[in-house]
Structure 1
C-alpha cells in the first residue's frame, strides 16, 4: 500500500474502508472503516437544494419588482407628459376683443361664445378653459344626440389613452358646474358610451 486506498461497501455504500501504509519498508499499515449515514448526506443535500431554490425565488422576486418599477415609472412619465401637454393647451388665451351676439351658440337660455371660451346666462358670465370649450362645441354641434367618448377624446386630445379618458371625466364635471345656472341645459352621461347635451329649448 504505497498510497492510501479508499473503498466503499455496504448497502448504498454506507461504509467507507480506509487503508494506508505507516511503514512501507516493513509492510506495516493501518486499516479502518467509517460508517456513513445516508440520512445525513441526504439531509445536507436537501438543505443545499432548499437554499438554492430560495435564492432563485429571491432573485425572481427582485427581477419582478424591478420590472414593475420600470413599468410604473413609464406610466408616470406618460401621465406627466399628457398633463404638461394639457396644461400648455389650457394656457391658450382667447381673443382680446369682446364677443358679439352673432358669434353666440345658443344652448337653451345660455349663450356660448366658443372663440372666447365664455358662457353667458342672463347677467352671469362664466369663463371656461380652451379644452372645455372644445368639448362643449362638439356636444353643442349635436344637441340631444350621443357623442361617443372615443370621438371626444380623438377630437380634443388626439388619442383615447387612460389618462386622457380620466381627464375627460374631470372636464365634463367642470362643464356641468359652468352650466348649472341654466336649468334648460344638462350634460348627461351614457355609461361607457359617451355624453349627451340635453337642451330643452
Structure 2
C-alpha cells in the first residue's frame, strides 16, 4: 500500500514536470518569435526586397498579446510542480537554465518596451537652432534635439523650413535622429 502512494506521487511529479516543461517551451518560443518579429520589422531592406515577406515577419509581433497568458500558464504548472515536489535547492544545471531564461526574458521585454515607444514623425521641420557638441551635430526644432550628420548640419540654415522625417522615443522625447531631409 505504501508503494502505491509513492508511485502515485512519482507519476504526478513526472506529469506536472512535463506540463511545466511544455508550458515553458510555448512561453519561450512565443517570446523569442515576437522578439524576432519586432527586430525584423525595423529592417527596411526586408521591406524593399519583398513587402509580403516583411508583413508576414512583422505580423509575428502580434503574438505578444499571448505572452501574459502563457506566463500565467507556466507559473500555474510551476507552482503545481513545486507543491508536489516540495521546496528545495535546484541542481546547478537547472539554476543556470533558470537564470538564462529570466535574463533573456527581461532583456527581450526591455528591448520590446523601448521599441514600442519609438515614433517616426514626418512633415515640415523648422530649424530653430543649430548645435554642435563633441563632434555631434544637432538641429533644434519643436522642443526636439535632432541628431544629424555633419554634411546635413552644414547644408541647413537657422530659421529655414525643410521637409523631413525623424525618429524619436516617448521615453526620451527631446532627443531624435534624422532619417530624411530636403528643401521645402
- The two structures have a TM-score, normalised by structure 2, of 0.30
Q: Which has the higher contact order (CA 8 A, sep 6+)?
A: 2
TM-score by length of structure 1 reads: 0.28
Give 1 or 2 for the bigger CA radius of gyration.
Answer: 1
Larger helix fraction of residues: 2
